[in-house]
Structure 1
């Protein structure tokens, strides 16, 4: 597996990966209704305020993570079906955390659903993230202190 920084040219790949997942699946239309479009994500990647990493296996993009530096917020971490359990998600989260840490972020946060069918809460706990309550929309808020 190799990790690389994403560029604006990778935005379609990010959407392909995001829309391929089976847990927390959202179509391009559903994402657009939330304001998450090719244009908005392209602007995010280009802004310099996001650490965006793509994982590749055999030259094929299999996952990505995005973290917003100014908010210390891990916005996304998604892995294509068929590539779970191979360390891809953990490597992408480590890349997001390291990017935030290098930018001076002391504490990061993320949110995820807590439905029993979602594996994400257990995954984040396994990586040392701590449940710090719920957001107004019912999502679990996780935080993690990023060591210097």
Structure 2
């Protein structure tokens, strides 16, 4: 599948929610996300304020996205539509997020489920130094390449 990665724009927000609510693992609906303060308004505002998100586009459709918190040095979202998995989209999105984070941080981090498919992907991409956060969750870190 051919795809491109580009910076997210506020008008991409509905597509980000479409991708986010389509996933099988770590699925959360719009109501669950809103209870966490993740709303279309909050995401649009984040994207408008600072470069913090990228989308993968295939066939003129957003099929994945990633988001970072530059101040905290964290990758906090990386999602790909289920029917588009296994095409290198997640790897490309994560690489773009890492590049941005390493501009300001020597070490970056993320949190995920210990036994999740996502954790396996992150480990495969060089994330490690696992810290148990309890409740089946872990923190992984990655150092800036020398």
Q: Deviations over 1:57-96 (max 9, x none)?
A: 1222110000111000101000001111100000000000
**8 Å contact kept, 1:131–1:140:** no
SS at match of 1:86: coil
Alignment partner, residue 63 of structure 1: 64
User: By how many angstroms is 1:113 displaced?
Assistant: 1.1
**8 Å contact kept, 1:7–1:45:** yes
Alignment partner, residue 90 of structure 1: 91
Q: 1:37 aligns with which of 36, 39, 46?
A: 39
Q: Distance in 2 between matches of 1:51 and 1:137?
A: 28
1:141 lines up with 2:143 in the alignment: no
Spell out the pairing of 1:1-148 with structure 2 (5 A cutoff): 1-48=3-50, 50-102=51-103, 104-115=104-115, 118-135=116-133, 138-147=136-145
Q: Distance in 1 between matches of 2:42 and 2:76?
A: 13
Q: Runs of 5+ in structure 1 lacking a partner?
A: none
Q: Runs of 5+ in structure 2 lacking a partner?
A: none
Which consecutive aligned stretches of 4+ in structure 1 deviate over 6 angstroms post-superposition? none
Q: Distance in 2 between matches of 1:122 and 1:131?
A: 13
User: By how many angstroms is 1:55 displaced?
Assistant: 0.4
TM-score, scaled relative to structure 2? 0.92
TM-score, scaled relative to structure 1? 0.91
Q: Distance in 2 between matches of 1:47 and 1:137?
A: 33
**8 Å contact kept, 2:46–2:52:** no
